[in-house]
């Protein structure tokens, strides 16, 4: 099982802290990992960390724009 699959399993099972930590590790190694950023943003939103959630969404929009024009 790769890290993203492990994080998703923790996320689905309600172990948000474990999932959050893994998503953050993935993002450190892969700053453009869309899925990890999206799911981490959902965790932040559920924890009412709105500023962090919005910043991740902004990053995702930029990633999509860059990919669109490449």
CATH number at residue 22: 1.25.40.10
Note down the domain range covering 53. 3-69
For the chain, how many structural domains are there in total?
1
What residues contact 53, with CB distance under 8 A and at least 6 apart?
41, 42, 44, 45
Q: What b-and-e string marks burial along 26-61, b requiring 16 or more CB atoms within 10 Å of the CB?
A: bbeeeeebeebbebbbbbbeeeeeeeebeebeebbe
Res 18: pLDDT: 98
pTM of the model: 0.88
What is the chain's pLDDT, residue by residue, as a tens digit (70 residues)? 799 999 999 999 999 999 999 999 999 999 989 999 999 999 999 999 999 999 999 999 988 888 778 7
């Amino acid at each position: 099982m790769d890290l993203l699959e492990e994080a998703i399993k923790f996320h689905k099972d309600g172990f948000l802290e474990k999932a959050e930590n893994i998503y953050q590790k993935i993002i450190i190694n892969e700053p453009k990992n869309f899925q990890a950023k999206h799911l981490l943003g959902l965790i932040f939103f559920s924890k009412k960390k709105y500023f962090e959630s919005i910043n991740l969404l902004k990053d995702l929009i930029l990633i999509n724009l860059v990919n669109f024009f490449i």
